[in-house]
Each structure stands twice: as structure tokens, then as C-alpha cells.
Amino acid sequence: MRHLLSTHDLDRDNAISILDIAEDMASFGHRDVKKLPALRGKAVVNLFYEDSTRTRTSFEAAEKRLSADVINFSAKGSSVSKGESLKDTAQTLDAMGIDAVVIRHGSSGAPHLLAHSGWIDVPVINAGDGTHEHPTQALLDAFTMRKKIYGEDSRGKDLSGVRVCIVGDILHSRVARSNIWLLSTLGASVDIVAPITLLPHSIGAWPVRVWHSLDDALASGCDVVMMLRIQAERMTHAYFPNAREYGRFWGLTAQRYRRLNSETIIMHPGPMNRGLEISSEAADSPQSLILEQVSNGVFVRMSVLYSLLTGAKGQLA
Amino acid sequence: MSATLLQSDDVTRALTRIAHEILEGNKGSSNLVLLGIPTRGVHLARRIAGILERIDGDTQIPVGSLDVTMYRDDLMSNPMRESALTQVPVDIDGKTVVLVDDVLYSGRTVRAALDALTDVGRPAIVRLAVLVDRGHRELPIRADYVGKNVPSARGERVNVRLSEIDGDDVVSVTSGGDA
């Protein structure tokens, strides 16, 4: 594995290896000295063309805990706002001598272009591209589910037999896409719950079951309910009449939360729109793993960085 | 070609002797913590702790695992290594920590273990116990307790099999192509 661009090209062994190494990273998370020397002397650039607080902070924490040197590059207030192309930015960074790029970009496929264009010759990690993929989010979601289900015995396990219901704006969601591929690879079954206006045309080709009623889907018994954020910045058309109606039909309201089985896991990639797609009662409940997702994000990103940045060039474990 | 160096009984005898030597050096079992280096070192540490507890009656010896993967100096020159769990069950500050590994060779793993240990705490004393010392040190490191000294050629491979993982206890040496 040279880059992490999508979960679609991650096979089961690679995925489980990343999750297992993340377990080991988590075992260092509680002690006084959290730093590990594994990436000492390596420079990692966080190249963020889109606003992001949690993903960038999480990557930065992961890089620092592995002792890498962190270079943050955000498009705002940089040469990009002066019109510099991705190619020139990449080549400039390369000329400075960097060892990996973490990229978030508003255009789907930008990380792929960066990895395969020949402009730079370092591992590329996709931290979210347009409406395409967000692989580290899916990995941390899978890690969080596995840890909740298997606890200390998580190592080596996949998610066979687990039923995950993903609810909301599938059309624009890179989190949903990455999760669908990864969860399927790990043996889970994926149900999609969304209004028809927020589904992509290609949904028939995906390994999922589709529901158009949240109440029906929840009544059928989901082990995990993953609520997606309504992304105001992408709501450029009339996908649904108004926010209140969306919340009533597609939100995890307090009433729906109370009808859930007490074992059902509630997840959300954040940031949440409380009162829209998820009620505070559900988000702050003991069944919610939303904060665990954030903690685990650091461990999973450490694992990805370790897996891509160590090892002799050209030798794959 | 493979030659057997230690059979199951020999392994048990070696570990029993190491346990006695630890007790002698430490003047009893107080303040002892055993940390195995994954994977086989952890099982050896558990066995030594079991023997110590049988010899010394009702004391319980804390046993943990100390993974050194993140501290290795060869991460960039070998294929990516899978890491293992670090689990230190007690506060090691002021304790006598005995590191346990299966084979002592270049000394680089132990060097990494000493660095890893520094990030966990500050033991009063650190000792090293190994089942096999095969020589060829590249760093100024020596073991305090050795099950068996095995003079070997660099091209040879020393294989340690333990019943917990491999089904039986055998230590053997295999001659490499250029040995």
C-alpha cells in the first residue's frame, strides 16, 4: 500500500492490519508520555483546500504523536488564493523535501491526481475529496464499531453479521461512500436510509439495501445507526422542503431514539446539526459513540501514517 | 539443516534457573515487575512469573508486555512491521523491571525496549532475561540472565518455538545458505 486514496481499493487484510495497528496505538493513548518516535525526521504536509477543524486537528495530533514534523498548508491566505494550481503547489512542497501529503480538496479525485500525476513522489492520504471519499473517517468508524462489539478481543476481527444503517444525505456524502465500501469489505451489511432526492443515480450498483422510511428501517433492527450531517454548504437545490420537515422525517429525534433497542449504537461523523439530523437526547445518550469516534480518529490516523511511511521503499509487507 | 538445542524439559529447566537467579539477585520477589517483549517474550515472562510465584509462595508478580516496534531503528529499512500490544499492569516507578525476550542477538531490540521503557516510567533497576543468547552484539548490551548461550554464525537462524503459540517447546538452529 503506497497511498490511501479510497476504501474501495482497500482489501480485507490491509483494512484489518490498519485497525489492529490502531489498537496498539490506542494502548499508548492513556499514558503520560503519548509521543512515539516512529516517524522522527519525517515531514508531513497537511494540504487543506477546504475548511476543516476536526479532521485537520486529528491528523495533526496523529502526526505529532508519531514525532513527525507537521507543516500546515491551508488554501485560505496562501498562494492558492493568488491563483496557484495544485500542480505548482505540489511541486513547490516537493522541492522543500516532504515525506507525505495529507490532502483535503473540494474536488473529487484531487488526491488521486496528486498521487498519480508524477508531480510528487511521496505517499498521499485522502482526508476528504469533494463528494467522493473520506477513507480515514470510514476506518475510524469501523474501528469504533469493532471496539464496541469485541472490546479487548478486537484484534484480527472483521464486522461480519453487523448491520449498519446510514441515514441522510447520501448523495453528497463522502463519509457514506467510504463507509459503504469498507463495511462491505469487512463483512457488514449496509442499509441506506434517505429521501430519494438525496440518493445518487448509481445507488442500484452499490452493495446496499435502500429504505425510504427511517421508521421502517429502525423497526427492522439496525445494530448501528449512523446519522449524516446535512451539509448546508452543499444544499444548493431544493432537496427537501425545509429543515423542520427534514428533521421530522429523517432525523434521529428524541422519540425515535427512545424506540431504539438499548444495544443500538449511535454514530455521527460530526460536526452535528443538533435538532436537525440528530436530537441532543440521542447525541448525548450512553448509546452514542460520537466522542469515541473523535478519540479513535487519532489512533486510526496514526496507524495509517505509520503503515504508509515506514518500511523500505518498494517493499510491501 | 536444523539442529535441536533445547527440548521442552530443557526450556523449563532454563526458565526455572532464571527464576531462581532473579530471586537471588533481587533478594526476594518484592518490587519485581516482568515485562515481556512481544510475541514470545511475553509468554516467557508469564512462565517465569508462574515459577517465581511457586517458589516464593503467595506473592503475585505483575507481568506485562512492552512492544518496541515504534522505537526500532530499522523502521525505514525493512518492510512495514505489524505492531503489538503494550500493556504495563502497574506503575513501574521505583520498581525492578526484568525485560524478557526469547533471543538476544544484535541488541537493537533491547535498545528499543530501554527507550520504550523510559516513556512508561522510571524503574529503579532494569534487568534483562533471555532464553537464548546467540552473540553478534552490535551495541554495548548484555543479558543478566541467560537460558542458554548459543555460539552461532550470522548466517544461521535460531528458532524458538513455544507451546502457547507453536504447539511445542523447541529451540533449534538452522544453517542458512551462506553459513
**Residues in contact with B1: Cβ distance below 8 Å, sequence separation at least 6, in sequence order:** B174, B175
Cα A243 to Cα A131, A192, A231, A252, A275: the distances in Å are 21, 20, 12, 13, 9
Retrieve residue A76's grid coordinates: 485560505
Would you say A105 and A52 are in contact if contact means Cβ atoms under 8 Å apart?
no
Is residue B176's pLDDT more than 80? no
Would you say A125 and A304 are in contact if contact means Cβ atoms under 8 Å apart?
yes
B70-99 tens-digit pLDDT: 999 999 988 889 999 999 999 999 999 999
Mean pLDDT value across chain B: 94
B70 interfaces chain A, CB cutoff of 8 Å? yes
Separation in Å, CA of B20 to nearest CA in chain A: 32
Within 13 A of B31's CA, how many CA atoms are on the CB side? 13
Q: A42-46, A183-187, B1-5, B117-121: which range is least confident on average?
A: B1-5
Task: Match 543479558 to its residue by C-alpha cell.
Answer: B143
pLDDT at position A313: 62
> What is d(CA A61, CA A73) in angstroms, rounded to the nearest whole number?
15
> What is d(CA A141, CA A296) in angstroms, rounded to the nearest whole number?
8
Residue A314 binned pLDDT confidence (cut-offs 50, 70, 90): very low
Would you say B35 and B98 are in contact if contact means Cβ atoms under 8 Å apart?
yes
Over residues A228-250, mean pLDDT: 88
A60-92 tens-digit pLDDT: 999 999 999 999 988 776 777 777 899 999 999
> What is d(CA A236, CA A247) in angstroms, rounded to the nearest whole number?
18
Would you say A104 and A50 are in contact if contact means Cβ atoms under 8 Å apart?
yes
Q: For chain B, which residues make up each domain, given as ranges?
A: 2-74+81-174
pLDDT at position B155: 92
Number of Cβ atoms within 10 Å of the Cβ of A145: 25
Retrieve residue B102's grid coordinates: 526469547
> Which chain A residues are Cβ-neighbours of B83 within 8 angstroms?
21, 24-25, 306
Is residue B172's pLDDT more than 60? yes
> Which chain B residues are Cβ-neighbours of A306 within 8 angstroms?
70, 80, 83
Is residue A152's pLDDT more than 60? yes
pLDDT at position A53: 87
Q: Are B84 and A24 an interchain contact pair (Cβ–Cβ within 8 Å)? A: yes
**Could you give the percent of chain B with pLDDT greater than 90?**
89
Domains located in chain A, CATH noted: 12-134+295-309 (3.40.50.1370), 135-293 (3.40.50.1370)
Separation in Å, CA of A270 to nearest CA in chain B: 30
Is residue A12's pLDDT more than 90? yes
Q: Are B86 and A310 an interchain contact pair (Cβ–Cβ within 8 Å)? A: no
- Which DSSP state fits A96? T
A241-286 tens-digit pLDDT: 888 899 999 999 999 999 999 999 999 999 999 999 999 999 999 9
Helix (H, G, I), strand (E, B) or coil at B31: coil
Residue of B nearest to A154 (CA): B85
A193-216 tens-digit pLDDT: 999 999 999 999 999 999 999 999
B54-71 tens-digit pLDDT: 998 778 999 999 999 999
Mutation for testing the B interface, residue in A24, A32, A154 having most B CBs under 10 Å: A24
Nearest to B86 among A28, A37, A38 (CB): A28
Among A residues 185-244, those touching chain B with beta carbons less than 8 Å apart: none
Is residue A124's pLDDT more than 80? yes
Mean pLDDT value across chain A: 93
Separation in Å, CA of A237 to nearest CA in chain B: 47
Nearest to B70 among A36, A307, A316 (CB): A36
- Which DSSP state fits A4? B
Q: From the centroid of its chain, how far is CA B38? A: 9
B84 interfaces chain A, CB cutoff of 8 Å? yes
Over residues B4-11, mean pLDDT: 96
Would you say B61 and A297 are in contact if contact means Cβ atoms under 8 Å apart?
no
> What single letter denotes the amino acid at residue A163?
R
Helix (H, G, I), strand (E, B) or coil at A306: helix
Is residue B113's pLDDT more than 50? yes
Is residue A315's pLDDT more than 50? no
> Which chain B residues are Cβ-neighbours of A156 within 8 angstroms?
none
Over residues B127-141, mean pLDDT: 97
Among A residues 140-179, those touching chain B with beta carbons less than 8 Å apart: 155
Residue B179 binned pLDDT confidence (cut-offs 50, 70, 90): very low
The CATH number of the structural domain formed by B2-74+81-174 is: 3.40.50.2020
A316 interfaces chain B, CB cutoff of 8 Å? yes
**Residues in contact with A113: Cβ distance below 8 Å, sequence separation at least 6, in sequence order:** A86
Residue B10 binned pLDDT confidence (cut-offs 50, 70, 90): very high
